[in-house]
Structure 1
Amino acid sequence: MIRRLSVLCLALPLLWLSGCSSTPENEALKPAELLEFDASAELDKEWSTRVGDGQGGKFNRLQPVIRDGIIYAASADGEIVALRSDDGEEVWEIDVDEPLSGGVGLGDSLLFVGTPNGEVIAFDQLTGEEQWRSDVKSEVLSAPVGRYGIVVVQAFDGNIYGLDASDGSRSWRYDSSRPVLTLRASATPVIVEDTVYAGLANGREVALDLSSGQVKWEARVAIPQGESEIERIVDVNDSPLIINSELYAVSYQGRLLKMDRSSGRPAWEFKASSDGGLAEGFGNVYFSSADGSVVAVNRENGSVTWEQTQLANRQLSSPTAYDNYVIVGDFEGYIHVLSQVDGSMVAREDLGSDGIRSRILTDDGLIYVFGNDGHLVAYKIVE
């Protein structure tokens, strides 16, 4: 219970933090000390820059995104940049003069961010020129995404909106019930062909028709259990992982579930608790557990391939699978590179920031790390 409360205090909005300061000290909750190991690779810095104040002070997860050799990033204080991903040279930079809480998302030719007061703002990807604003009436913590003329936005109140990409007008809305207590995040929807896939705070995964918002199927990823509202938190807190006909989703205090993408029918389940997302490689699905373990689960049968426990309670980012590696960041700003084969430590680097909350990106032989304090750094892994 103490472990769960500790994680919750880090994730809930500030108005709930007053009751968290009295959490008792407990040796089991202290972050693991980093152990020495024989590194078989190292991270060489290629370039670095600074993007505003980064994640700010409200546990945002503003996520950079890469397309066609350009990396786009935004900060909580309203700065948005487009940089060349190979050398970090600036393409454009703007300041929206107001706080940001969700993004960055991309459409066919637009870039999207969300604000704490419920606005979705669209910009031209090439120039950064603002195109339109749309009000969804609730804080936007996830990245809006667009395809085929529709922009999909998941708001913090649990509702999912389809907006017209030409002007931001509302095309449809999907309403979902939101529990009394949730983690401070919303899963970014994924669009595949004509379907929107999204994880919800009530522990469900839903598939919606992109053009109409009509429900194609709903599936229960986790069932709330326990007597208290804290024990019953089961957020599906990140995007589903989709591989061909397979869909994988993981929840907090619930399970990792493999489903059929077309029907939502489960194939297998694995008991898990994670407030982040998934990665895949070497026939495995990877997740960062709420207790700080990095776990590899076999895609075919749901069995554990390996589990790395040396990073206990270090508040890990979602994992990224790249080449032979699984990469995560932690609350002190360390980048940990693990082997996809057995989870052993391969390399470690200190970003020197106030922690790493966003997922680490990869593109064309480089990895990109966005620190909570706004440092954006490109590295190359050298063996």
Structure 2
Amino acid sequence: MMKNNSKVFLYAFRQMTISILITFVLALAACSNSLTNNDMKKPENIVWMTTIDGVSTSPVFTQDNLYIGSGEFDAGNSMGKLLSINSSSGQINWSSSIGEVIETPIIIGEKVYVNSINGGSHLFNNMTGEKVNHFILGAKALSNGEMIIAIRDLLEGDSFGTYIVAFDARSGEEKWKQPVSNPSMTLSDNVLFFSDFNGQESSIHALEAISGDEKWSFSGGNTIYGTPVVEKGILLLPSSELVVTVDPKDGKEIKRITIPNNMTPQSLVYPASKEGFFYFTDDLNTIHAVDVNNSNKLWSYTFTGSVTSPLSIGDENVYFGTEDGKVVALSRNDGKQEWEFQTKGTIQSITIKDGRGFVVATKSASQSSIDNESYVMALK
């Protein structure tokens, strides 16, 4: 059981980076000038900064508040909390101790679901913090508002097996499950896409989220694919050497894009507002922009320090955070640095909402984020 839980723990944190990117870079533009709600000008100051005891998630937002998981280990015990923070003032509205390190919350109406790495799911009223329910769900949960889909280890006979399990979001009732090995999944238009690797070969699948019925699948051979990305009617499957584009309706391959110079895409993002390009970082703290149509590298930008956050893609700029607390903006057109802004700590994530930047950082780069005093900051 400990071995399986360890696998789920490593999987959840390894995949959290890309899941966060997919969630937050696809917002629509809504401003009439050149700066849209997906971009921010160079901040003048830190509007507010709230200190929390470690961080295990990136924030998710409602209109007025953000929700984030904090946590630390004390004598081997996890002390996880869910916090609701006012996004205008930084004031903590409420917090609730869960006792487990948690994953990024899911907001459904007036409810907020929080899943722990140990598989427990906690349901709260997102306005009051009142705990509504608790049930066993699973790790790496996704939701379309009607279903919650998670990865869970289940005892089948005398051994544990890994499954994708789907639950009704209102009742918590299990609806279907699918045996897997080590999946990376995303949810789009009521279809669950996931790549899987059983130790010998990979496979790609598309399932109806409501029923669990398979729409299509195909073998990926010995190539290990990361989390699928769906954008502009194209399914992108990233690996260490190439990106395969697929028609999400029928699973037919469109083309294979070789990553130039064997650059490893650690943080693949397919932008929402400009088709035909993707961006990623490599092992040398270099950010690359590549043309999907011909695999040509458009530009590269090498940062002299350590890039520590996933990339955030706006309509005009690419944003990233650094080990020494800088938020850096690059032009999407040519990769030139537009500006940088000094914050505090080691940056873990950057979220842009309504033209404002929200940064999560940890005090020390040498400690894990869940054992580390952390900061949530709003920039403007």
Same fold (TM over 0.5): yes
Aligned to 1:310: 303
Whether the aligned pair in 2 keeps the contact of 1:329 and 1:357 (CA below 8 Å) is yes
Are 1:54 and 2:54 an aligned pair? yes
Instruction: Give, as a single letter, the amino acid of the residue that structure 2 aligns with 1:210.
Output: A
In the alignment, is residue 247 of structure 1 matched against residue 235 of structure 2? yes
Give the aligned residue type for 1:369.
V
1:221·1:256 contact (CA, 8 Å) conserved in 2?
no
Per-residue Cα deviation, 1:237-262 (whole angstroms, up to 9, x for no partner) = x4x432231122323x3433322221
The structure showing larger relative contact order (alpha-carbon pairs under 8 Å, at least 6 residues apart) is: 2
How far does residue 151 in structure 1 lie from its aligned partner after superposition? 0.9
For residues 265 and 304 of structure 2, the distance between their equivalents in structure 1, rounded to whole angstroms, comes to 14
Is 1:324 the counterpart of 2:319? The answer is no
Mapped partners of 2:221, 2:267: distance in 1 = 15
* 1:1-383 equivalent positions in 2, closer than 5 A: 42-50=42-50, 52-55=52-55, 62-76=57-71, 77-90=79-92, 92-136=93-137, 140=139, 142=140, 144-155=141-152, 159-178=163-182, 187=184, 189-200=185-196, 204-218=203-217, 223-224=222-223, 234=224, 236=226, 238=227, 240-251=228-239, 253-268=240-255, 269-271=257-259, 272-280=263-271, 281-283=273-275, 284-311=277-304, 314-353=306-345, 355-358=346-349, 360-372=350-362, 373-380=373-380
- Residue by residue over 1:192-221, the C-alpha shift from the partner in whole angstroms, topping out at 9 and shown as x without a partner, is 332123344665543221112222233566
Unaligned runs of 5+ in 1: 1-10, 14-40, 179-185, 225-233
CA contact (8 A) 2:236 2:246 kept: yes
Q: SS of 1:357's equivalent?
A: strand
Q: Is the alpha carbon distance of 1:89 and 1:12 closer, same or farther for their aligned partners in structure 2, counting shifts above 3 Å?
A: closer
TM-score by length of 1: 0.70
Cα 1:42–1:73 change in 2 (3 A) is same
* Counterpart Cα distance in 1 of 2:321 and 2:97: 28
Q: Secondary structure of the residue that 2:88 maps to in structure 1?
A: coil
Confirm or deny: 8 A CA contact 1:329 1:335 kept in the other structure.
yes
Structure 1 residues 101 and 341, CA, compared in 2 at 3 Å: closer, same or farther? Answer: same
- After superposition, what is the alpha-carbon deviation per residue over 1:272-329, rounded to whole angstroms, capped at 9, x for unaligned? 52343414154322222344221212244443222222357x2542211124210012
Unaligned runs of 5+ in 2: 1-8, 12-40, 72-78, 154-160, 363-372
1:317–1:356 Cα contact (<8 Å) kept: yes
1:368 and 1:95 mapped to 2: Cα distance?
A: 22
Contact 2:300–2:335, Cα closer than 8 Å, also in 1: yes
Contact 1:63 1:103 in 2 (8 A): yes
Cα distance between partner residues in 2 of 1:249 and 1:287: 14
Deviation at 1:365, TM superposition (A): 0.9
Residue 44 of structure 1 aligns to a residue whose secondary structure is: coil
Tell me the distance in 1 between the aligned counterparts of 2:290 and 2:167.
36
C-alpha distance in 2 between matches for 1:270 and 1:101:
36
Q: Which runs of 4+ in 1 moved over 4 A?
A: 155-158, 199-205, 219-222
Deviation at 1:64, TM superposition (A): 1.1
Identical residues among aligned pairs (%): 19
Query: Normalization by structure 2: what TM-score?
Result: 0.71
